[in-house]
Structure 1
Amino acid sequence: MSDQNTRLAGESLDITQQRRVELKQLFPSAFTETCNDKGEVVESLDFERLKAELGELTDIYDNRRERYGMDWPGKRNCLRLIQQPSTATLKPCREESVDFDTTENLFIEGDNLEVLKLLQKGYYGSVKMIYIDPPYNTGKEFIYPDNFSESLDTYLQYAGLKDSEGRNFSTNSANEGRFHTKWLNMMYPRLYLARNLLREDGVIFISIDDNEVENLRRICDEIFGEENFVAQFIWEKRTNRENRKIVSTRHDYILCYSRNAWESDRPISQLPMNEKALASYKNPDNDFRGLWKSDPATAQAGHGTKSQFYDLVAPNGKIHQLESGRCWLYTEKSMNQAIEENRIWFGKDGNGVPRIKTYLKAKDRRLTPETIFFAEEVGTTEVAKNKIKELFDGIAAFETPKPVQLLQTLLKLSANPGVVVDFFSGSGSLGEAVYRENLTGSSTRFVLIQLPSLVKREVKRKK
């Protein structure tokens, strides 16, 4: 017997649908997304693939030309959408602006695809860095349609996920057959137009998580070129354990592509020395040249000449022999001169393995970037949320803002000052990062684009 509060469904089990679910669990590759007669994207069963899975091999591609690439329903329409010109106009809002006539920074409200089209003339090939934090496609975000005939009020309703009568717009639910397709159709034309804005030495950084990182890599390889892939950075977005049933996720990704890697041997810059790196420079022997750290005095033997193989005699008379497969970094003559000039370190007691002293002030020391951004260096989502709360009287107006320190690091990686763009600007963290970097002498300008959205605020009633 059921509980009296339990409601029973008024219809019997859909056997056909149940069988499809069971079949998909056994043969997920046999299901694909196609367009029906109405042009709608639907999930369908590919019987030829199913037969192949069951061992009945047929020439599935008899009538198709095989090629490497990525395809999905609606991709052709994406290309048409890219070519469709925009007839909109950017309207200045002087009353909402600060130093309107002199500022070189822009904040634009509107559909970012339409705005990207409008920026093609004024910013084509002139943007140094693009950073975007698009919807991760977790099944919770709303992915709005690219319909330029919609009014601004309608887009405001989209941003609030409710229509004028309070009814919910649907999100991109993972239960839909076109879950990935809707996201790809949203991202592809925007990335395509974004590439046009980049300078030859420009780079783009894209935040993403596991839901779409694979698809994002593939469409970026197609748009920017696989040869222009720079790195897939890992950002430690939290330090606390997340309450998950299976795995606690502590990181997101930041993909980086360059506009034209062939134009530069280093598409991104090295980073300034941080406190951790500076801590390795000391001066235990009071060397007049200043702070130094010790580095190995040997190298791989395969790169050495005959003059780099010898027994090294330390100032105290101790003889140091090479390990197998190694050679000294200097010739014997150069090594003896370096020892005489106190440029070789043998440890405090003089009996240590010879090491070369590398001086901090010998040149402009910088750090080669690594593929991991640690929370202690660039901040976490929680740090960013707390900063937002300070601005909105304790209200978490944005759920997943990016910390300003993280975006400052990306600005440093993008090297020379210039124009930076964020067309999913959200809380505007990139704008603040630019402001803070400019305080240190940079001259970067930003263009931020965001769909008009209503910020949640709590109204406290007066007693």
Structure 2
Amino acid sequence: MDKLKMHSPDLSQDNIAKIRELFPGCVTEARDETTGAVHLAVDFDQLRQELSDHIVDGPQERYRLDWPGKKNALLLANAPLSKTLLPHREESLNFDETRNLLVSGDNLEALKLLRETFLGEVKAIYIDPPYNTGSDFIYNDDFSETTEGYLIASRQLSEDGSRLVANPESNGRFHSDWLTMMYSRLKLARNLLADDGVIFASISDEESANMKRLLDEVFGEDNFIDTIVVEMSTTSGPKTVNAQQGTIVKNAEFVHVFRKTAAFDKIRHTPLFDGVVSFDTHYTAWMNDDGTLSTLAQKMMEDYKVGADIEKFGFSSRGSFSVNNMDRLLSVSDSAKEFIESNLDRIARIDRPPVSASKQSTEVGCWIAFEADHRTYYLTTLSNGTLQALMPLSLNYRMSDDYKPRFGRTVIRGDLWKGFYQDMGNVAKEGGIAFANGKKPVRLIKQLLKWANNTKDGIVLDFFAGSGTTAHAVMEANADDGQNRKFILVQLDEVPDQKSTAAKEGFATIADLSAERIRRSGKKILEGECHPDWNRDVGFRVLKVDTSNMKDVYYRPDELQQSDLLDMVDNVKEGRTAEDLLFQVLVDWGVDLTLPIRRETVQGKTVFFVDDNALVACFDRGITEDLVKELAGHEPLRVVFRDNGFVSDAVKINVEQIFRQLSPTTDVKSI
């Protein structure tokens, strides 16, 4: 039986293999001077020549983003990792049923461990990374070791408690360190996105330009969609004083939007609408059923109830009413509100006609319907003979996406998203968790997902999870529209500042705070009105990045020493459970980490059935041929045993033969 690797793939070697398929003459073997290990390497001079139509003498200048540490970041992103994700049932919610994940640990390592399982499966990524303001923290990635050294260390060393470091502006590598941190993580995240996937990256002006350039490089400039400007504050309070002194105060943050490929454009994206409080006084025309035109003011005066209110509140002048007084009338007259809302398709404004209507004509003072561009236009001719279109008020009278959604007049939103400052007064309390470190409003993420319209039953990833706002937004969105989006959150198990509210409330880590926020917000959502089609999944599996379940001898059997003989008898670390082993197998084999898991006793042994027959695993000792035959009878797609778990070498040798006879499509492995 072949053994599972039990570590993430070496992406550099994978990429070299792809180059070798296209340009075999550009790839050769090289020997590491330190370890003596032989590996594939690229002859870059030869590759440059292969890709050029002229003689290449040396490196050429070109437009690109460069900084100290870029090559190291790429090296670290591609290096394999021999860690695992350990399940923590006691910290999870609905562990056996949920399809959501909360991963605690370094997001660089987590992204590597999630890669095989969710490669090309994530529909949307939202991240709110450190803004690099000079007073926040960034990840302390270590580039001091070679790839081989990193591989060795990453399976033996535990967390050292210093994964975050301050990045003051006085640091000579202030921008470089931030770019290095983000580059490796974005490279890994792109692999997880589906072809029709999208990434949203929140940022402030400190690193907005650099974030845009990073995303250009990782996702390609052609895949840039837009930068959304989000109004997060107003010029009020202390900002007013600064503005009066001539300072241009900050009111906005940014969300850079990139697609994975052009497949994203094939989806119909949902338009978003802002509410407009005041009445648009361009709406003055009234479309009569007989094809003639009147004025809105005239019809309102003719209505018994509305006309009475116009007179009562003093909005009549010489027996007529001006729409310039409409806002004042609507603020005091329920009859006027009802009149407007009941006649949305009759009230219209004058607009430009479509180009396809250029040869149409109507009588002056009349209107006709005209079909063009898959919609109906209404045309009229002015007294000067100019053809115009009538745009009914019903076209922009709908539910808005405002802070307090209401049914009324709206305008379609562009890349300037106003009014989100209204959410900021309550954002600290959203989810029932106080967290001062830059929480984003739930509404912002919900509307990004709503606009993308590509996440139905799909996965939403946030690998800078913070307090868990993205999970909250996903659950609320599901409750609203009945879709069954799933979330994957990754949050470093950093210890909160002891002076913070989080520490005072007893949270040992920010990941613990995220988990509690999901519990509270999920409970509250279920207590409200929920769409009947939603599966009501507000649970999550907690998985924690940890050292491998396997002892070092598992990875380096060629370096076996006399003292390692006992480890060969049992190559699993003490204290690791069968379920721990199962999840490392799922990670290594790329099996969905959210699939249902059933534990059964079969012939006295504990057997795991993942999604019935997606994977069957038994890590007990004393496995007999009869047990192997019974498991083969389930015809699983994959089966895994402990390498030293069989009652005899003969049974171990016969395992593959048994499956070839009873379940020939099963992939058989051991650990």
Between the aligned residues of both structures, percent identity stands at: 34
Q: What SS does structure 2 have at the residue aligned with 1:72?
A: coil
Question: CA–CA distance in 2 between the matches of 1:379 and 1:411?
Answer: 20
Q: What is the aligned partner in structure 2 of residue 125 from structure 1?
A: 120
Q: What is the aligned partner in structure 2 of residue 3 from structure 1?
A: none
Partner residue of 2:348 out of 283, 287, 294: 294
Q: Does 1:180 align with 2:192?
A: no
Q: Does 1:438 align with 2:482?
A: no
Amino acid at match of 1:81: L
Q: What is the aligned partner in structure 1 of residue 234 from structure 2?
A: 239
Partner residue of 1:109 out of 104, 116, 119: 104
Cα distance change on mapping 1:186 and 1:264 into 2, 3 Å: closer
Please report how far the alpha carbon of residue 143 of structure 1 lies from its aligned counterpart in structure 2 after TM superposition. 1.3
**Alignment of structure 1 residues 129-140 onto 2, 5 Å:** 129-140=124-135
Q: What is the aligned partner in structure 2 of residue 162 from structure 1?
A: none
Question: CA–CA distance in 1 between the matches of 2:267 and 2:225?
Answer: 8
Question: CA–CA distance in 2 between the matches of 1:229 and 1:277?
Answer: 33
Q: What SS does structure 2 have at the residue aligned with 1:210?
A: coil
Q: What is the aligned partner in structure 1 of residue 451 from structure 2?
A: 413
Please report how far the alpha carbon of residue 274 of structure 1 lies from its aligned counterpart in structure 2 after TM superposition. 5.8
Q: Does 1:265 align with 2:271?
A: no
Q: What is the aligned partner in structure 1 of residue 318 from structure 2?
A: none
Please report how far the alpha carbon of residue 152 of structure 1 lies from its aligned counterpart in structure 2 after TM superposition. 6.1
Partner residue of 1:450 out of 480, 491, 494: 491
Please report how far the alpha carbon of residue 399 of structure 1 lies from its aligned counterpart in structure 2 after TM superposition. 2.8
Cα distance change on mapping 1:250 and 1:272 into 2, 3 Å: closer
Q: What is the aligned partner in structure 1 of residue 418 from structure 2?
A: 374
Partner residue of 1:314 out of 357, 364, 381: 364
Cα deviations by residue, 1:425-458 (Å, 9 ceiling, x for unpaired) = 1011111111111112121110000001334337
**Alignment of structure 1 residues 36-185 onto 2, 5 Å:** 65-147=60-142, 149=154, 154-155=160-161, 158=163, 171-185=166-180
Question: CA–CA distance in 1 between the matches of 2:136 and 2:485?
Answer: 31
Q: What SS does structure 1 have at the residue aligned with 2:123?
A: strand
Q: What is the aligned partner in structure 1 of residue 250 from structure 2?
A: 249
Please report how far the alpha carbon of residue 144 of structure 1 lies from its aligned counterpart in structure 2 after TM superposition. 2.2
Partner residue of 1:222 out of 198, 205, 217: 217
Please report how far the alpha carbon of residue 368 of structure 1 lies from its aligned counterpart in structure 2 after TM superposition. 5.6
Cα distance change on mapping 1:153 and 1:382 into 2, 3 Å: farther
Question: CA–CA distance in 2 between the matches of 1:401 and 1:184?
Answer: 22
Q: What SS does structure 1 have at the residue aligned with 2:269?
A: coil
Q: What is the aligned partner in structure 1 of residue 389 from structure 2?
A: 355
Q: What is the aligned partner in structure 2 of residue 404 from structure 1?
A: 442
Contact residue 139 and residue 174 of structure 1 kept, 8 A: yes
Contact residue 123 and residue 193 of structure 2 kept, 8 A: yes
Please report how far the alpha carbon of residue 356 of structure 1 lies from its aligned counterpart in structure 2 after TM superposition. 2.5
Cα distance change on mapping 1:92 and 1:112 into 2, 3 Å: same
Question: CA–CA distance in 1 between the matches of 2:439 and 2:348?
Answer: 41
Q: TM-score, normalised by structure 1?
A: 0.66
Please report how far the alpha carbon of residue 415 of structure 1 lies from its aligned counterpart in structure 2 after TM superposition. 0.6
Please report how far the alpha carbon of residue 374 of structure 1 lies from its aligned counterpart in structure 2 after TM superposition. 1.3
Please report how far the alpha carbon of residue 380 of structure 1 lies from its aligned counterpart in structure 2 after TM superposition. 3.9
Please report how far the alpha carbon of residue 153 of structure 1 lies from its aligned counterpart in structure 2 after TM superposition. 5.4
Q: What SS does structure 1 have at the residue aligned with 2:488?
A: strand
Q: TM-score, normalised by structure 2?
A: 0.47
Question: CA–CA distance in 1 between the matches of 2:134 and 2:445?
Answer: 26
Cα deviations by residue, 1:90-119 (Å, 9 ceiling, x for unpaired) = 111100111101101111100000000111
Cα distance change on mapping 1:371 and 1:282 into 2, 3 Å: same
Amino acid at match of 1:136: Y
Contact residue 224 and residue 257 of structure 1 kept, 8 A: yes
Contact residue 238 and residue 382 of structure 1 kept, 8 A: no
Cα distance change on mapping 1:282 and 1:295 into 2, 3 Å: closer
Please report how far the alpha carbon of residue 239 of structure 1 lies from its aligned counterpart in structure 2 after TM superposition. 2.4
Q: Does 1:206 align with 2:206?
A: no
Amino acid at match of 2:259: S
Contact residue 286 and residue 348 of structure 2 kept, 8 A: no
Q: What SS does structure 2 have at the residue aligned with 1:413?
A: helix
Q: What is the aligned partner in structure 1 of residue 190 from structure 2?
A: 195
Contact residue 238 and residue 380 of structure 1 kept, 8 A: no
Question: CA–CA distance in 2 between the matches of 1:256 and 1:435?
Answer: 22
Unaligned runs of 5+ in 1: 1-61, 160-169, 321-327
Cα deviations by residue, 1:304-350 (Å, 9 ceiling, x for unpaired) = 68734x5x42357xxx9xxxxxxx9969xx9xxx99xxx55799xxx
Cα deviations by residue, 1:262-316 (Å, 9 ceiling, x for unpaired) = x24356712355654998899966879963363655447xx568734x5x42357
Partner residue of 1:387 out of 430, 451, 459: 430
Question: CA–CA distance in 1 between the matches of 2:394 and 2:235?
Answer: 36
Amino acid at match of 1:453: E
Question: CA–CA distance in 2 between the matches of 1:179 and 1:201?
Answer: 34
Q: What SS does structure 2 have at the residue aligned with 1:265?
A: helix
Structure with more of its chain in strand, by fraction: 2
Contact residue 104 and residue 492 of structure 2 kept, 8 A: yes
Question: CA–CA distance in 2 between the matches of 1:252 and 1:131?
Answer: 15
Cα distance change on mapping 1:275 and 1:266 into 2, 3 Å: farther
Q: What is the aligned partner in structure 2 of residue 425 from structure 1?
A: 465
Question: CA–CA distance in 2 between the matches of 1:198 and 1:443?
Answer: 18
Amino acid at match of 1:239: T
Q: What SS does structure 2 have at the residue aligned with 1:220?
A: helix
Question: CA–CA distance in 2 between the matches of 1:238 and 1:449?
Answer: 28
Amino acid at match of 2:470: L
Question: CA–CA distance in 1 between the matches of 2:284 and 2:483?
Answer: 30
Cα distance change on mapping 1:403 and 1:249 into 2, 3 Å: same
Contact residue 237 and residue 252 of structure 1 kept, 8 A: yes
Unaligned runs of 5+ in 2: 1-56, 143-152, 291-341, 401-410, 506-671
Contact residue 294 and residue 358 of structure 1 kept, 8 A: yes
- The alignment yields a C-alpha RMSD, in angstroms, of 4.1
User: Which has the larger Rg?
Assistant: 2
Question: CA–CA distance in 2 between the matches of 1:434 and 1:125?
Answer: 20
